[in-house]
Amino acid sequence: MDFQAFQAYEGRAAAVGGAGKDPVNGPMIRHWCEAMGHPVPVDGSAPQAMLQVWTMGGLSGHAAGAGRSSAYEELLGRLDAAGCTSVVATDCEQEYVRPLLPGERITFDAVIESVSGSKTTKLGTGHFVTTRMEVRAEGGELVGTHRFRILKYAPAQGKAPKQTAGPRRPRPVVNRDNAGYWEGIRERRLLIQRCAGCGALRLPWLPGCDACGSADWDTVRAGGDGVVFSYVVMHHPPFPAFDPPYAVALVELAEGVRVLGNVVGVPYDKVRIGMPVRLEFLNTDDELTVPVFRGEG
Nearer to Zn ion by Cβ, of 41 and 224: the residue is 41
To the nearest whole angstrom, how small is the minimum distance from the Cβ of residue 209 to Zn ion?
3
Nearer to Zn ion by Cβ, of 195 and 222: the residue is 195
To the nearest whole angstrom, how small is the minimum distance from the Cβ of residue 220 to Zn ion?
14
Nearer to Zn ion by Cβ, of 69 and 193: the residue is 193
Nearer to Zn ion by Cβ, of 77 and 199: the residue is 199
In the DSSP assignment, the letter for residue 8 is T
Nearer to Zn ion by Cβ, of 50 and 195: the residue is 195
To the nearest whole angstrom, how small is the minimum distance from the Cβ of residue 47 to Zn ion?
15
C-alpha–C-alpha distance, residues 124 and 154, integer Å: 5
To the nearest whole angstrom, how small is the minimum distance from the Cβ of residue 191 to Zn ion?
17
Nearer to Zn ion by Cβ, of 133 and 257: the residue is 257
To the nearest whole angstrom, how small is the minimum distance from the Cβ of residue 192 to Zn ion?
13
Q: Which residues bind Zn ion (CB under 5 A)?
A: 195, 197-198, 200, 209, 211-212, 214
DSSP the chain: --HHHHHTTTTSEEEEEEE-SS---HHHHHHHHHHHT-PPPTT-PPPGGGGGGGG--TTT-PPTTSSB-HHHHHHHHHHHHTT--EEEEEEEEEEESS---TT---EEEEEEEEE---EE-SSEEEEEEEEEEEEE-GGG-EEEEEEEEEEEEEEPGGGHHHHTT-PPPPPP---TTTHHHHHHHHTT--EEEEETTT--EESS--SS-TTT----EEEEE--SEEEEEEEEEE-SS--TT--SSEEEEEEEETTS-EEEEEEESS-GGG--TT-EEEEEEEE-SSS-EEEEEEE--
To the nearest whole angstrom, how small is the minimum distance from the Cβ of residue 194 to Zn ion?
9
To the nearest whole angstrom, how small is the minimum distance from the Cβ of residue 274 to Zn ion?
29
Nearer to Zn ion by Cβ, of 19 and 212: the residue is 212
